[in-house]
Structure 1
Amino acid sequence: MAATIASSGAAADGARGGVLASPRARFALYLLLGFSAGLPYYIFSTVLSARLTKHGVDLVLIGFFGWVQLLPTFKFAWAPLLDRFAVPGFARFFGKRLGWIILSQIGIVLSMVAMAFTSADTDLPVVALFAVLLAFWTTTLEVSADAWRIELAPTAEMQGPLTAANLWGYRSAMVAAGSGALIVADRSGWTGAYLAIAAGAFVPLPILMSLRRSAEGSGERLVSLATGLLASAVVLAGSLVLVAVAGWLVLSAAAGIGISAKTDATTAVLVLCMLPFVIMALALPRIVNLPATARLRTSTMIGPYVDIFWRFGYRVLPLLGFVTFYRMGDVLTLAMSKPLEIAAHYDLTTMGVADGFVALPSSMAGVAIGALLAVRMKLIRALALGAIGSAIGNWIFVWLWFAPPSPHVIYISTALDQFAHGMEGAIFVVYLSLLVNPKYPGAQYAFLSGFAFLLPRLLAGAGGVMVKHIGFDGFFWLSGALSLAAVVFLPFIANAKPRSDD
């Protein structure tokens, strides 16, 4: 794969106006970038929930750990910085987008190793610290890769293949991490499982680092690389300190107001997380009348997000409602599928086989069909099919819960779930990519995709509480119905088109 990309000049930096030399090279690059982003995701979500369940952690606390997945929802908070700034040294050596990707990959590997050596789960705040860091660096990689993809592929026809490649790599890595970690954990323990996945996460790093060499002399190249490594060390250390301090402040504040492991904090978290979006919606009447020179539209940090509301006007409200519900089923399945399977008396090896040999081909088939539908069919119809498929993918777990434990039951459930959510995800990525203003690719895609997962991940964090009240069957009936509810918004967004700049 590295030869395919490098020989085609794939290291050209899309942010500087360069393009990848061939469609095949772009496809190979995004297969690799999807793998790099997908491998850690299961580790701080589904695999972590299985690990905590096996160690007897209360189901409510496991649900709270699901809120680690909220971090990617707020990637818009730092995405404009990735659009505007570059990693010192790495920018000259690799280019801006690839420089951030390299730094993120280093952060991913180090965070996984740290999670491996805290896998006894005896100190849950420390476990949460490294899970948050892993989520942060995974998200930073995604922001840079998404921005680069939108710059390279501005049309639906170009987005389809890159989206398929990215999701094939992403879901393949998720499946490999999920099944691999569970199978290794069953034989060698959780530390060995996390170290094995960390080794897998390291593999893309030298391949990505081989993509670009600057045109400078060898001495200048070494200076650029050394500067980049030093800057990376500073940023990685700073992020560790920042997250640790922020976590301590949050836990201290929670304890101070009486919030404990038995407290249902869902409502408070929902209000806090929704606040920035509510403020933006309330400001909509003013935003739609702003001139091009208005400070709100030219600001580095909030200008890209104001631009979304300005371009779509009042249609932005049903549009945001639609994206909120569309991925509901996918996220909620990730949060509670493994606790359900363990509660249904499936062993880790059977679960790992289902997540590997069954889920991988099913997911890849779903992604391929979804990308094809997004290109060949009217996009609004493709979105409707994706929502229906997602609902069915969730409801299949109700059958798994009531059926006697059997390999064929979990294999069929996993296959349908992965196919449906792979198809839905591919259609959705193409749709969101076409909503983005090319002037702000990283920031706007981060905002829209982050908002799409806000409510689902909040509900995922409360998944343990919900299961205690309505059972696993009620949880999956509800999650499927919420995903299907996205169809209600389709008539209101079918003709939503952005207006051009002043």
Structure 2
Amino acid sequence: MQQKLTWGQALRVYLKPRVLAMFFLGFSAGLPLLLVFSTLTAWLRDYGVSRTAIGFFAWVGITFSIKVLWAPVIDYLRLPFVTKWLGKRRSWMLLSQLGISLGLVGMASLNPQLALTQVALLAVWVAFCSASQDVVIDAYRIESVDKELQGAMAANYVFGYRVALLVAGAGALYIAELASWSTSYTTMAILMGVGIITTLLVAEPDHSLIKDRAEPFQHEWVDRMLGSGEHSPLKEWFVRAVACPFIEFFQRNGRFAIVLLLFIGIFRLSDIAMGVMANPFYLDLGFSKTDIAEIGKVFGFFCTIIGSFLGGLLVVRYGIMRPLILGAAMVAATNLLFAHLAQVGPDRFWLAVVISADNISGGISNAVFIAYLSSLTNQAYTATQYALFSSLMTLPGKFISGFSGIVVDAEGYAQFFIYVAILGTPAVALAIFLWWRDSRRAESEPA
């Protein structure tokens, strides 16, 4: 049995250089997200862009949902000169961070009223670079320390990510209110320097252990799919980098893998489908950008941290499955509070109630869901398999959210949030089924 650390020893883990660096890499990963999502929609609405057009901007986020398509390329392709200088992971990190920064500078130079198409194209570019950064940072986190430190790495990453969301949400709105949207996006581009500096300072992980662990399985499937003897380098690369992570997952889970992937795809459907309309909803209801920043972003930030902490405690106390059901139910139900707020109007008290419920439930569900996804991965293929899961968990919601503006224009905000709450019920039902299945399997196993 593994010996438990004292509280002092556990706290000192967070002072290790690579663990500490994950806060700054988490900040770099989280900063671009809102700048192509809810903060962008607030900018567009502030410039008079129609709600229907804003709804279509949700499809920019689909880039994060298909990153698994190029994750194997990031995993295996060496960048000329840069890889030799920085190593396999840090070279891709630096390239993606520079791409994000340049894209944000480009967006800052445009007026959405005059160049909406160019804004959309640059938003897609920023999202592509950001999704690529996510893939490589996940791989770096997994490979750079032993399994015992992965919890601390993930905790620091999430904390940095949440701080970045606060900066790119409330911070960007404050700057836009005091100066301009151009100044706001230029400032965010400069803040990407946090990730760039961290990438240049951290050490490249040792990839030998992961390579040794994966080699026998990969060699077996190269022979099965291509036969023995000489193979085309491209075909062998495809089997090793693309096919093997998926083969391993389906081989381990059998036909039930389809059910697991379906559950991953619908778990956050309700949450993501309403997200693109949140800031336009607050503005149309009559709240100021300062109200949104103070209550929606700053107050919401602390509520999310509380929710994440509660989610972790629930997993420790009750395991993963029962808190997973609770999280799915809470996320769906909180949409009904948004529907109520649409009837109440611009009341700061009710805004605080809705924000606290939404962010606490989101924090609980996200913390539990990350634990669940982590339990599904194989350590030898964590980067590609986790990219598959994280891509799939946002794809259906991003697609459906693209039609959110049409629904709001046709039915109104209150009816829209009721529809979104209904969208969350299949995830609750499937979570109950998975809990029942795991309980039956546990009962059938010999003591």
TM above 0.5: yes
- Measured in 2, the distance between the counterparts of 1:375 and 1:70 equals 33
2:129 corresponds in structure 1 to 137
Q: Which deviates the most, 135-144 or 380-389?
A: 380-389
1:394 corresponds in structure 2 to 335
Q: Post-superposition shift, 1:439?
A: 2.3
Is contact 1:185-1:192 (8 Å) kept? yes
Q: TM-score, normalised by structure 2?
A: 0.82
Q: 1:41 aligns with which of 19, 33, 42?
A: 33
Given the superposition, is the C-alpha separation of residues 93 and 213 from structure 1 closer, same or farther in structure 2, using an over 3 Å criterion? farther
Residue 294 (str. 1) matches residue 224 (str. 2): yes
Is contact 1:82-1:442 (8 Å) kept? no
- Measured in 2, the distance between the counterparts of 1:464 and 1:60 equals 4
Q: Post-superposition shift, 1:177?
A: 0.8
Q: 1:468 aligns with which of 409, 423, 445?
A: 409
- Measured in 1, the distance between the counterparts of 2:368 and 2:410 equals 34
Given the superposition, is the C-alpha separation of residues 159 and 365 from structure 1 closer, same or farther in structure 2, using an over 3 Å criterion? farther
Q: 1:421 aligns with which of 347, 359, 362?
A: 362
**Which runs of 5 or more residues in structure 2 are unaligned?**
1-11, 206-219, 227-237, 442-447
- Measured in 2, the distance between the counterparts of 1:349 and 1:93 equals 45
Q: Report the aligned-residue RMSD.
A: 2.6
Given the superposition, is the C-alpha separation of residues 150 and 492 from structure 1 closer, same or farther in structure 2, using an over 3 Å criterion? farther
Is contact 2:13-2:149 (8 Å) kept? no
Residue 349 (str. 1) matches residue 349 (str. 2): no
1:252 corresponds in structure 2 to none
Structure 1 SS opposite 2:242: coil
1:164 corresponds in structure 2 to 155
Given the superposition, is the C-alpha separation of residues 175 and 483 from structure 1 closer, same or farther in structure 2, using an over 3 Å criterion? farther
2:168 corresponds in structure 1 to 177
Structure 1 SS opposite 2:407: helix
Which amino acid in the other structure matches residue 181 of structure 1? A
Structure 2 SS opposite 1:51: helix
% identity of equivalent residues: 31
Q: Post-superposition shift, 1:375?
A: 4.0
1:316 corresponds in structure 2 to 257
- Measured in 1, the distance between the counterparts of 2:434 and 2:72 equals 27
Cα shift readout 1:27-48 (whole Å, capped 9, x = no counterpart):
4232222211111100000011
Structure 2 SS opposite 1:212: coil
- Measured in 2, the distance between the counterparts of 1:381 and 1:196 equals 42
Is contact 1:147-1:445 (8 Å) kept? no
Given the superposition, is the C-alpha separation of residues 463 and 126 from structure 1 closer, same or farther in structure 2, using an over 3 Å criterion? same
Q: Which deviates the most, 403-412 or 313-322?
A: 403-412
1:32 corresponds in structure 2 to 24
- Measured in 1, the distance between the counterparts of 2:395 and 2:118 equals 24
Is contact 1:93-1:213 (8 Å) kept? no
Q: Which deviates the most, 50-59 or 299-308?
A: 299-308
1:101 corresponds in structure 2 to 93
- Measured in 2, the distance between the counterparts of 1:416 and 1:32 equals 28
- Measured in 2, the distance between the counterparts of 1:160 and 1:391 equals 28
Given the superposition, is the C-alpha separation of residues 393 and 363 from structure 1 closer, same or farther in structure 2, using an over 3 Å criterion? same
Which amino acid in the other structure matches residue 437 of structure 1? N
Q: Post-superposition shift, 1:152?
A: 5.4
Structure 2 SS opposite 1:294: helix
Q: Post-superposition shift, 1:212?
A: 3.2
Q: Which deviates the most, 378-387 or 82-91?
A: 82-91
- Measured in 2, the distance between the counterparts of 1:483 and 1:384 equals 11
- Measured in 2, the distance between the counterparts of 1:160 and 1:407 equals 37
Given the superposition, is the C-alpha separation of residues 121 and 205 from structure 1 closer, same or farther in structure 2, using an over 3 Å criterion? farther
- Measured in 2, the distance between the counterparts of 1:418 and 1:315 equals 32
2:235 corresponds in structure 1 to none
- Measured in 1, the distance between the counterparts of 2:432 and 2:149 equals 26
Q: TM-score, normalised by structure 1?
A: 0.74
Structure 2 SS opposite 1:162: helix
- Measured in 2, the distance between the counterparts of 1:322 and 1:24 equals 37
Which amino acid in the other structure matches residue 295 of structure 1? M
Residue 78 (str. 1) matches residue 73 (str. 2): no
**Which runs of 5 or more residues in structure 1 are unaligned?**
1-20, 215-289, 498-502
**Alignment of structure 1 residues 113-262 onto 2, 5 Å:** 113-151=105-143, 159-212=150-203
